[in-house]
Structures are given as structure tokens and as C-alpha cells.
Amino acid sequence: MSNSPKKYKLDRTKFQARNASEQFNYGQEHRILTWQERIQIHQYLNSIAYGFDLENPPRMDKTFFQIKVRK
């Protein structure tokens, strides 16, 4: 997103129940976005949910994974 992430605030207390047609219309509004814009939105929401800075994301802990040889 071109705007600063600090400009937006995620309200975790907000919930809006929708019926099927309202939900369909909501999805149609966001379908006009390109896949790049959807990825940017996804990254922004992840940064809010997990509390990291978009400019300095955490590194993946590669020591957690193991390589095993199949016989």
C-alpha cells in the first residue's frame, strides 16, 4: 500500500453479520483489485495481527526445520 501503515487502525472488536447476498456483494467489490494489491493488503493485515513493522519483517527461523532422507 502506498499509504503509511500507521495511518490505519485495525478494530478487532468490530463484527458485522451479513446474509449471503450481502457477502457476495462484498466479495465483488474486492474482486476488482489486482493480485498485487491483494497481496499488499494481506501483508498489511498480517503485520497488524502479529505486531511487526512492514519495513522490517521478522526473519524465518530456519533451525526449526529438519531434512530427513527417505529410504
Q: Among 22, 45, 46, 42, which Cα is nearest to 34's?
A: 42
Contact 1, 38 (CB under 8 A): no
What tens-digit pLDDT sequence spans the chain (71 residues)?
455 556 666 666 766 777 777 767 766 777 788 889 889 888 988 888 888 888 988 888 888 888 888 87
Q: Give the other-Cβ count within 10 Å of 6's Cβ.
A: 8
Q: Where are the domains of the chain?
A: 20-55
The rounded distance, in Å, linking the Cα atoms of 43 and 46 is: 5
Q: What is the pLDDT of residue 1?
A: 47
Contact 27, 18 (CB under 8 A): no
